Amino acid sequence: MTTSATSAHSPPELEPLLKKRLIRLVALILIFSVMNGTMFNVAIPDIADHFNLLPSQVSWVMTGYIMVNAVGALMYGKLADIFPIRSILTFGISMFALGALLGFLSPSYGFLLASRILQAIGGATIPALAFIIPTRFFPNERGKVFGIISSTIAFASGIGPIAGGLIAGILDWRYLFLFSVASVFAIPFFRKWMPAEEKREGKIDYLGALLFSIAIASFLAFVTTLMMWLIPVASLSFVLFILRIVKAEDPFIRPEMLKNRAYTITILTSFLGTSVLFGLIFVIPIMLRDLYDLSTLAIGFVLFPGAMIAGILGRSGGELVDKIGGEKVVVLALVLIGSGTILLSTFAGFAPWIIAVCLVISYIGFPLIQSSTANILSAILPAKQTGVGIGLFNLLNFVAGAFSSASFGAILDIQDTGIVLNPFALQGENAIFSNLFLGLTVLSFLALLLFSMTFKKHSSAD
């Protein structure tokens, strides 16, 4: 009985060479997934022109993808607590590549949107499981692996718009789909290198999963479309979900996990930090267009140094997590993020290269906040809850991206702001951007305060 339990719940120790191959493969497939999301940002106008669509119609190319990825992040996390990761990834990458191929061939917008949703259904497995794989297969060096994964996400997020602009500009927006088809070639290597696992005990609370999915999808749809009728739908679904997890014998999310203060504060800290960073990625291109009249490609090159440096240093950040602990790295990450945003607030309106330098400081915080919070969560959660716990962490990161983009977009609609709140900033057209960056600074340091106070009490209790 002991041997069976060990084989089912404790995958065999991997050889060093196999570890390196698997980590590189995860990072590679993650690049496909992340770039697939960011590349399409620059192609939205071209898709709208091709199918003669209104902005509200074409926005569902991104909105639908985000919604499915957000819900899928939690769903696949829960499935990973029961089913072998290798099987889930095989299914996910297959659907991701098939959706991409159908998107490339799409004769109509409806067909394209359906293909994009299919792509998201499969693609959601990749970021969801990328943060679970280190916890399950690399427990003694998970900080390092989390750092590699987080730095890969930061790098791919930055290079995605540049690659999208080049591919769509030289070829056509359809070839953005074709780029993702190549991911299917990773499946044989995952089947070969990923440790075999047995199915674990457990069952899926499908009603709870459905209620939670409706609540999250309705909320994200409201955030991105501002259709008011979605608020009661989201609220009612969430209330019913809470009632379900309280009464169900084996609920989709166990209430005791949400009552764990260290867990909830950690995912809230990640949510706030990620909101700031996605806010930057959303606001910076708009500022560079409005204040400097830069082209899409030029905007990409302003974002690129931060993504590149974050991709390089993020790996070292993961090793730092293993050496000094996740809590200290979270503090460092939030200080870097806040320092970068206050500098951006001060230098908004200065030369683009100065903006690029300031952005690097905040960008470095991205892989640090991701790897450190993921590492803390993997240590807090019991093994049987790791999948759904990390899944909820990933879900909130997707929600953070949608929420920050919609919120900051609404604020940027206020064009008559003439008051600059930062006394060291320039006066003029940059006012709204300077004030936004200052607000992001306040948000990052509020997250720092909340996290520091919680873990100070948590350490004292221990």
With bands split at pLDDT 50, 70 and 90, how would you rate the model's confidence at 185? Answer: very high
Q: What angle do CA 309, 266, 237 make, to 5 degrees?
A: 115
First-to-last C-alpha distance (Å) of the chain: 34
Residue 305 domain boundaries:
12-204+252-461
pLDDT for 4 equals: 36
325: pLDDT strictly greater than 50: yes
Same domain, 227 and 341: no
pLDDT tens profile 294-315: 876 787 788 888 888 888 887 7
Q: Answer yes or no: is 345 within a domain.
A: yes
With bands split at pLDDT 50, 70 and 90, how would you rate the model's confidence at 1? Answer: very low
Same domain, 331 and 429: yes
With bands split at pLDDT 50, 70 and 90, how would you rate the model's confidence at 3? Answer: very low
Listed range (223-237, 280-294, 396-410) with the worst mean pLDDT: 396-410
Listed range (24-33, 198-207, 446-455) with the worst mean pLDDT: 198-207
Domain-ending residue, one of 223, 251, 279: 251
Read off the pLDDT of each residue in 38-67 and give the average, rounded to a whole number. 78
Same domain, 331 and 209: no
Q: Answer yes or no: is 99 within a domain.
A: yes
pLDDT for 459 equals: 54
- Amino acid occupying residue 335: V
102: pLDDT strictly greater than 70: yes
Domain-ending residue, one of 226, 251, 276: 251
Q: Answer yes or no: is 427 within a domain.
A: yes
283: pLDDT strictly greater than 60: yes
Read off the pLDDT of each residue in 138-145 and give the average, rounded to a whole number. 83
Q: Answer yes or no: is 221 within a domain.
A: yes
3-state secondary structure the chain: CHHHHHHHHCCCCCCHHHHHHHHHHHHHHHHHHHHHHHHCCCCHHHHHHHHCCCHHHHCHHHHHHHHHHHHHHHHHHHHHCCCCHHHHHHHHHHHHHHHHHHHHHCCCHHHHHHHHHHHHHHHCHHHHHHCCHHHHHCCCCHHHHHHHHHHHHHHHHHHHHHHHHHHHHHCCCCHHHHHHHHHHHHHHHHHHHCCCCCCCCCCCCHHHHHHHHHHHHHHHHHHHHCCCCHHHHHHHHHHHHHHHHHHCCCCCCCHHHHHCHHHHHHHHHHHHHHHHHHHHHHHHHHHHHHHHCCCHHHHHHHHHHHHHHHHHHHHHHHHHHHHHCHHHHHHHHHHHHHHHHHHHHHHCCCCHHHHHHHHHHHHHHHHHHHHHHHHHHHHHCCHHHHHHHHHHHHHHHHHHHHHHHHHHHHHHCCCCCCCCCCCCCCCCCCHHHHHHHHHHHHHHHHHHHHHHHHHHHHHHHC
Q: Answer yes or no: is 321 within a domain.
A: yes
- How many percent of the chain have pLDDT more than 70? 94
Q: 191 or 44: whose pLDDT is higher?
A: 191
Please answer whether residues 128 and 73 qualify as being in contact, where contact means their C-beta atoms are separated by less than 8 angstroms: yes
Same domain, 220 and 293: no
Please answer whether residues 430 and 349 qualify as being in contact, where contact means their C-beta atoms are separated by less than 8 angstroms: yes
Same domain, 163 and 218: no
Please answer whether residues 367 and 147 qualify as being in contact, where contact means their C-beta atoms are separated by less than 8 angstroms: yes
pLDDT tens profile 284-297: 888 888 888 887 67
Same domain, 299 and 432: yes
271: pLDDT strictly greater than 70: yes
pLDDT tens profile 335-390: 999 999 999 999 988 999 999 999 999 989 988 998 899 889 888 888 777 888 88
pLDDT for 233 equals: 94
pLDDT for 301 equals: 82
Same domain, 305 and 437: yes
Same domain, 114 and 169: yes
Q: How far is CA 326 from CA 189, 261, 407, in A?
A: 31, 16, 30
Q: Answer yes or no: is 2 within a domain.
A: no
pLDDT for 87 equals: 93
**Count of residues making up the chain:** 462
Q: Answer yes or no: is 90 within a domain.
A: yes
Mean pLDDT of the chain: 84
Q: What angle do CA 446, 451, 456 make, to 5 degrees?
A: 130
Domain-ending residue, one of 229, 251, 273: 251
Buried b (16+ CB within 10 A) or exposed e, 32-49: bbbbbbbbbbbbbebbbe
Report pTM. 0.80
Same domain, 243 and 199: no
pLDDT tens profile 186-206: 999 999 988 888 888 777 888
Overall domain count for the chain:
2
Same domain, 104 and 159: yes
pLDDT for 103 equals: 92
Same domain, 285 and 304: yes
134: pLDDT strictly greater than 60: yes
With bands split at pLDDT 50, 70 and 90, how would you rate the model's confidence at 449? Answer: very high
pLDDT for 101 equals: 95
Please answer whether residues 308 and 155 qualify as being in contact, where contact means their C-beta atoms are separated by less than 8 angstroms: yes
Question: Left, alpha or beta for 226 (phi > 0: left; psi -120 to 50: alpha)?
Answer: left
Read off the pLDDT of each residue in 157-185 and give the average, rounded to a whole number. 85
Q: How far is CA 302 from CA 199, 354, 411, in A?
A: 47, 9, 23
Same domain, 199 and 209: no
Q: Which of 399-408, 416-425, 443-452 has the highest mean pLDDT?
A: 443-452
Instruction: Tell me the CATH number at 446.
Output: 1.20.1250.20
Q: Answer yes or no: is 374 within a domain.
A: yes
